[in-house]
């Protein structure tokens, strides 16, 4: 198992050190709560939208894989919307926490970008092998991390059925984790004001 595969397998746990430091040094105030929560909501919306296409396959922790080459919804604008959503959520939580600004945010962005870059390299090996020319065309027109404004036109690639319910169900665990962190930060906010 190489490092990219290791990061893919344990990607649900790699944010824990970031979250622990964030909570230990948190000092939330109203001026950090509002922009932080806006980023969290935007990140979660992107994740639910992406999961409404991809479904529970995004939850695999074994080896990299997938049934479909998804080029619809947010995937028509950026190849890795789930990771973009994650980065927005972590950035939003860290801004809300008002912890070690701007150092925690800068370090967090760098660490997550490197992690996702290595994971994406592994995922792309699989996609190139399984979907060949269709993936080559898609990846040549849609950026990996910086969304473009022009929507990718699907040229006949079979897509799964879109379902907000499927997206919501797939995202429930992440929503619960994010809400847990938000509750902790709100409790810290209240305790420090008493």
Q: pLDDT truncated to tens, each residue of the chain (194 aa)? A: 787 777 777 777 888 898 999 999 999 999 999 999 999 999 999 999 999 998 866 555 555 567 789 999 999 999 999 999 999 999 999 999 999 989 999 999 999 999 999 999 988 998 999 999 999 999 999 999 999 999 999 888 889 999 999 999 989 999 999 999 999 999 999 998 87
CB atoms within 10 A of CB 187: 11
* CA–CA distance, 81 with 70 (Å, rounded to integer): 11
Contacting residues for 64 by C-beta, under 8 A, at least 6 apart: 5, 8, 122, 123, 125, 126
pTM of the full structure = 0.90
Please tell me the predicted confidence (pLDDT) of residue 7: 77
Task: State the pLDDT at residue 60.
Answer: 56
Distances in Å between the Cα of 145 and the Cα atoms of 60, 105, 112, 160, 184 are 21, 18, 12, 22, 30
CA distance 69 to 50: 13
The CA distance from 75 to 22, in Å, is 30
Identify the pLDDT of residue 128. 93
Residues 6+ apart with CB under 8 A from 190: none
């Amino acid at each position: 198992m190489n490092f990219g595969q290791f990061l893919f397998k344990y990607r649900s746990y790699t944010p824990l050190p970031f979250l622990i430091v964030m909570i230990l040094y948190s000092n939330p105030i109203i001026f950090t709560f509002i922009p932080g929560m806006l980023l969290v909501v935007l990140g979660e919306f992107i994740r639910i939208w992406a999961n409404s296409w991809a479904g529970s396959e995004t939850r695999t922790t074994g080896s990299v894989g997938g049934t479909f080459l998804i080029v619809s919804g947010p995937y028509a604008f950026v190849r890795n919307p789930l990771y973009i959503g994650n980065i927005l959520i972590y950035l939003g939580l860290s801004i809300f926490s008002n912890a070690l600004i701007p150092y925690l945010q800068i370090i967090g962005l760098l660490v997550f970008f490197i992690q996702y870059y290595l994971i994406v390299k592994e995922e792309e090996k699989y996609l190139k092998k399984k979907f060949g020319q269709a993936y080559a065309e898609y990846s040549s027109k849609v950026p990996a991390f910086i969304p473009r404004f022009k929507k990718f036109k699907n040229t006949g690639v079979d897509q799964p059925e879109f379902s907000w319910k499927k997206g919501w169900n797939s995202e429930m665990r992440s929503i619960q984790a994010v809400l847990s962190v938000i509750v902790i930060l709100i409790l810290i906010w209240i305790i420090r004001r008493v």
